Every structure is written in structure tokens, then in C-alpha cells.
């Protein structure tokens, strides 16, 4: 199949997933009601408000998360030539968790009682993720071996996780509950006013990865061969760390840690479309990731008066996909 035809097929399923997610919620609207509310000025104000202030921002957030995490996973799997590499491997999500934990539990521990907003929680997560990213980039200047950097990232994440666990142990029940809810993941945290710059950051990084796609292909040949082709592998490595850190950091900060998507979707793209070209893998992974996130979000909001954590849904949706990929290829 031609590239454009493959994209068309994916976009067809994307539209279906979008419409399904648009209907999902405690109030079940028909497509006629939705269309009338969005395009008819005389429609129900309540329906219009629910769609434009709640559902559509949530759906856009799902799409952005579906772009950010698979792209991060694909870049790391390419850099480390490791199928288990994912966007949380370097402790960036742990850094975001540490920032949020420090805001929620650290201040109360020293006697400062606050009621943080969703925006301040996101900022704390971004700062925590950014600090870890700076450490990883600094290490990349000093260490040339990718495997060593990978090991350092794993230990860094484990160390930060231990500190967060210690903070949870000494935290009050009320604050601990708020932090645990954040760790379960939610696409409702990004409000409409924050969505424009959340979109700007993720889409800007995604466009940059598309521009540099041909350079990622050279990493399959090894660093030495890539250098003979004129590719600055050190700069490319720093770009991958930075892009992954930004995408993972901002996603985790706003939506909480969302598992499975970053690791599984790139493999799913390779298996379905039988390609190793990054220009194709980046596009396919972004669309497939968006479809899976839309479906997961629709499922999480399909229960009356109860929202299931998005992390739970992505795991349930993802496990069959992972097994399908493993048995189809007899491993990754």
C-alpha cells in the first residue's frame, strides 16, 4: 500500500474513535444533538457547554497524549536499539512525580498547608521532569555509551521513586489520596485555557521529529556508520533526550503517568505496516496512539457517574495488543 493510502485508512479509524469518544460521558447525546449543539446557535446551552468546555478539550488532550508518548517510545527504542525502551525509562516521569509529591506532601510535611490547583500541580510536575532531563543531558555530554546512560536513567528513576515513597509514608491520608489519584492518570486535568500551549509544545516537538526523521534512520546502522554519512550522533542523541523529556514531562505533569502507550504503539506500527522508515513510523505511531487513547478515554467515561482511571484502561486495552505483537512476531 502507498503511504497516503495507509494514512487514509488510519484517519478513517481515527474519525470513528473521535466520534465515539465525543458521545461518551454520563449524559448520552445522539449525534444529531451533538451536531445541532455545535453548529446551531439556538441549541441547548447546557449541551453546548458540556461539549465545548469538557468533552472536546478532553478529546484533544487524548489525541496529544496519543502523539507524545508513542513518539517518545519510538525515539528511545531507535536510539538504544532496545524494544523495551519507553518514555519513562530515564526517570523523567519519576521526576514529574517527585515535583508533584513535593508540592502536595513536602510542603505539608514542613507545616505549610496548601490546596494546589491543577495548574500548579502541572507546573510542579514540569519542573521535576525538567530537572531530571537536565541531569540526563549533562550525563550524555560526559558518557558516550548509550547503555550506560540507560542504566543511569533506570537507577535515577528508582532513587527518585524511593524518595517519593518515603514522602507518601509520612503524608496525611487526605493529601496522599490526592497524590494517588494523580498517579492514576486523568485527561480531564487540562482545562480549555491551558490547552493551546499544551498543544503548541507537543505539536512543535512532533513536527521537529518529522523534519529530522531521515537522521533517525541512520541510527539503525550504528554510530560509526552514521558518522560516516555526516550525521552528528552526539547532537542527535541530545535532541532525542530533549524531545523525549519534553513530551513525557509535560504529558505526565498534566495527565499523570500513563503507561503502555509509549512502549507498545511503535511496535504495533512496525508490525501492521511492515516498515522501519521513521517518517512513516512517526506518522503511524502518532495516529495509532491517538486512536488508542480516544478509545481508552471513551471506555473510561462510559460508566454512569463514575470515571475509571485512564491508566487502568490503557493497561487493559494494551495487554492484548502486546500479546498479539509477541505471538505474531515470536517476540519483539
Q: What is the reported pLDDT for 115?
A: 56
Please give the pLDDT value at position 71: 95
Residue 17 lies in a domain: no
Give the 3-state secondary structure of residue 301.
coil
Instruction: Establish if 101 belongs to a structural domain.
Output: yes
Q: Whose CA is closest to 193, among 61, 105, 89, 103?
A: 61
Q: According to the model, what pLDDT value does residue 20 have? A: 92
Mean pLDDT across the stretch 97-104? Answer: 83
Looking at residue 117, what is its pLDDT? 65
- Confidence category of residue 118, pLDDT binned at 50, 70, 90: low
Continuous H helices in 212-309: 213-218, 223-228, 233-255, 261-273, 278-300
pLDDT (mean) for 176-186 = 81
Most confident of 131-140, 226-235, 238-247: 238-247
Distance CA 286, CA 296 (A): 15
CATH number at residue 295: 1.10.3470.10
At 64 the pLDDT is 96
Is 26 within a domain? no
**CB contact set of 64 (below 8 Å; sequence gap of 6+):** 198, 199, 202, 203, 251
Q: Which residue has the higher pLDDT, 59 or 237?
A: 59
Strands (E), 153-233: none
Q: What is the pLDDT of residue 232?
A: 81
Structural domain that includes position 124: 57-329
Residues 328/271, Cβ–Cβ less than 8 Å: yes
pLDDT top residue among 308 and 281: 281
Least confident of 106-110, 120-124, 142-146, 198-202: 106-110
Residue 78 lies in a domain: yes
- pLDDT for 109 beyond 60: no
Whether residue 8 lies inside any domain: the answer is: no
* Closest C-alpha among 319, 309, 177, 292 to residue 255: 309
Q: How many domains does the chain have?
A: 1
- Helix, strand, coil percentages in the chain from 3-state DSSP, rounded to 5: 80, 0, 20
pLDDT digits (tens, 9 = 90+) for 299-309: 988 876 777 88
pLDDT for the residue numbered 61: 94
Q: Is residue 117 part of a domain?
A: yes
CA distance 112 to 110: 6
Q: Which residue has the cell 465515539?
A: 20
87 DSSP assignment? T
Q: Taking all residues of the chain, what is their mean pLDDT, rounded to a whole number?
A: 82
Q: Fill in the DSSP letter of residue 103.
A: I
Q: Looking at 24-145, list the stretches that DSSP marks H as alpha helix, in order from N- to C-terminal side.
A: 31-39, 45-49, 56-80, 92-101, 107-109, 118-142
Amino acid at each position: 500500500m502507498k503511504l497516503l493510502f495507509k494514512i487514509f485508512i488510519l484517519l478513517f479509524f481515527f474519525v470513528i474513535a473521535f466520534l465515539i469518544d465525543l458521545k461518551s460521558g454520563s449524559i448520552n447525546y445522539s449525534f444529531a444533538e451533538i451536531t445541532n449543539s455545535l453548529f446551531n446557535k439556538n441549541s441547548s446551552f447546557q449541551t453546548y457547554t458540556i461539549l465545548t468546555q469538557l468533552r472536546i478539550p478532553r478529546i484533544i488532550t487524548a489525541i496529544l497524549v496519543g502523539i507524545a508518548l508513542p513518539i517518545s517510545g519510538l525515539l528511545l527504542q531507535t536510539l538504544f536499539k532496545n524494544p523495551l525502551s519507553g518514555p519513562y525509562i530515564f526517570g523523567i516521569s519519576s521526576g514529574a512525580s517527585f515535583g508533584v509529591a513535593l508540592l502536595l506532601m513536602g510542603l505539608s510535611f514542613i507545616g505549610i498547608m496548601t490546596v494546589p490547583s491543577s495548574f500548579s500541580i502541572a507546573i510542579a510536575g514540569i519542573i521535576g521532569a525538567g530537572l531530571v532531563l537536565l541531569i540526563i543531558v549533562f550525563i550524555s555530554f560526559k558518557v558516550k555509551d548509550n547503555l550506560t546512560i540507560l542504566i543511569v536513567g533506570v537507577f535515577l528513576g528508582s532513587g527518585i521513586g524511593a524518595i517519593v515513597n518515603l514522602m507518601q509514608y509520612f503524608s496525611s491520608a487526605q493529601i496522599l489520596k490526592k497524590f494517588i489519584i494523580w498517579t492514576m492518570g486523568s485527561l480531564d486535568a487540562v482545562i480549555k485555557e491551558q490547552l493551546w500551549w499544551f498543544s503548541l509544545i507537543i505539536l512543535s516537538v512532533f513536527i521537529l521529529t518529522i523534519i529530522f526523521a531521515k537522521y533517525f534512520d541512520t541510527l539503525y546502522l550504528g554510530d560509526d556508520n552514521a558518522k560516516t554519512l555526516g550525521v552528528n550522533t552526539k547532537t542527535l542523541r541530545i535532541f532525542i533526550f530533549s524531545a523525549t523529556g519534553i513530551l513525557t514531562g509535560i504529558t505526565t505533569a498534566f495527565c499523570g503517568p500513563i503507561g503502555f502507550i509509549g512502549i507498545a504503539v511503535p511496535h504495533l506500527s512496525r508490525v501492521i505496516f511492515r516498515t522501519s522508515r521513521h517518517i512513516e513510523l512517526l506518522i503511524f505511531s502518532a495516529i495509532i496512539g491517538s486512536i488508542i487513547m480516544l478509545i481508552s478515554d471513551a471506555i473510561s467515561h462510559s460508566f454512569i457517574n463514575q470515571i475509571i482511571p485512564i491508566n487502568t484502561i490503557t493497561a487493559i486495552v494494551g495487554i492484548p495488543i502486546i500479546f498479539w505483537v509477541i505471538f505474531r512476531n515470536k517476540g519483539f
